[in-house]
Amino acid sequence: MNIIQRETDHCEPRHNDARPSILIMHYTETIGPQKADGYFRGKIEHPTGGRVSTHYMIDEDGTIVQYVDESMRAWHAGVSYWDGIEDINSHSIGIELVNPGRKHGYRAFRPAQMMALIELAKDIMNRHEISPHRVLGHSDIAPERKSDPGELFDWKMLSALDVGIWPTPSQEDYKIANDYVRDPQNLKDAFIRAGYDPKANLTDLITAFQRHYTPEVFSHSAQGNGNQGEIDRNAAARLNWLIRHKPTR
């Protein structure tokens, strides 16, 4: 795997001797890689006014650039949470995929980019023993703030190649799903058991989950696939499958 190395001082030691146990996917929300590169290296001021970085960036042609050593804490997750962890940056490795995002014309990720991602992600997961259940999107860990990598990111395809997971609910999952659909508190508790932030708004949790696990609800041409931000049996059954298959720590 050919990886270009670029230096940045936008990093620091991981807090409390934490080790990577989560892999986070992002998109750059830039037209091309140049502006994102400037953000990560401190050459261009980020729109938030803060200093940001990532461990890796993958261009649309599959070129991989590394900015921060995996032993260090990159600044990619921001305020976020997963399964009891609030300092996600100390416990994760971040991968940014060059994509215009919602500000500049969100589009499907390129095949060469996804193939490079699969090779890189599998290598990271193997070396750090990261569970497929902990391969997540930025929107999973920050559902009230973020929507990347979004509904056009092919999580199902990645799962088929052992990067992340894709739920395949049973009839029992669909039976339990009825309880989630009827009872918002039961549904919120289920999201928390899966790992999502207990402080997040339920509608934002549903939307983040849909972006990852039921992206069909975002298709304008699809009919009968549910509504954005509203739980249905299909999404609820997939949520219950995740809970049932969640590994112990």
Query: Does 134 lie in the same domain as 64?
Result: yes
pLDDT at 128 (0 to 100): 98
Q: How many domains are contained in the chain?
A: 2
CA distance linking residue 75 with residue 52, whole number of Å: 5
Its pTM stands at 0.97
Query: Does 53 lie in the same domain as 32?
Result: yes
Q: Is 89 part of a structural domain of the chain?
A: yes
Structure tokens at 173: 């999952």
Q: Is 165 part of a structural domain of the chain?
A: no
* CA-to-CA dists, residue 47 to 74, 161, 224, angstroms: 18, 35, 38
Q: Tell me whether strands 72-74 and 3-5 are parallel, antiparallel or unpaired.
A: unpaired
Catalytic residue among 45, 96, 119, 151: 96
Query: Does 144 lie in the same domain as 186?
Result: no
DSSP string computed for 56-117:
EEE-TTS-EEE-S-TTEEES-S-S--BTTBS-HHHHEEEEEE---HHHH---PPPHHHHHHH
pLDDT in tens, the chain (249 residues): 899 999 999 999 999 999 999 999 999 999 999 999 999 999 999 998 899 999 999 999 999 999 999 999 999 999 999 999 999 999 999 999 999 999 999 999 999 999 999 999 999 999 999 999 999 999 999 999 999 999 999 999 999 999 999 999 999 999 999 999 999 999 999 999 999 999 999 999 999 999 999 999 998 655 556 799 999 999 999 999 999 999 986
Query: Does 198 lie in the same domain as 138?
Result: no
pLDDT at 219 (0 to 100): 85
Query: Does 142 lie in the same domain as 102?
Result: yes
Q: Is 166 part of a structural domain of the chain?
A: no
Domain that holds residue 197: 171-245
Query: Does 156 lie in the same domain as 188?
Result: no
Query: Does 240 lie in the same domain as 175?
Result: yes
Q: Which of 160, 189, 205 is the last residue of a domain?
A: 160
Query: Does 218 lie in the same domain as 110?
Result: no
Question: Which amino acid is present at 203?
Answer: T
For 7, list phi and psi in degrees, rounded to 5: -90, 145
Q: Tell me whether strands 11-13 and 72-74 are parallel, antiparallel or unpaired.
A: antiparallel
Q: Which of 107, 135, 160 is the last residue of a domain?
A: 160
Q: Which of 131, 160, 189 is the last residue of a domain?
A: 160
Catalytic, 96? Answer yes
Query: Does 155 lie in the same domain as 65?
Result: yes
Query: Does 60 lie in the same domain as 182?
Result: no
Query: Does 135 lie in the same domain as 216?
Result: no
Question: Order of strands, edge to edge, in the sheet holding 92-97?
Answer: 3-5, 64-66, 56-58, 92-97, 22-27, 135-137
Residue 98 sits in a domain of what CATH number?
3.40.80.10
Query: Does 59 lie in the same domain as 19?
Result: yes
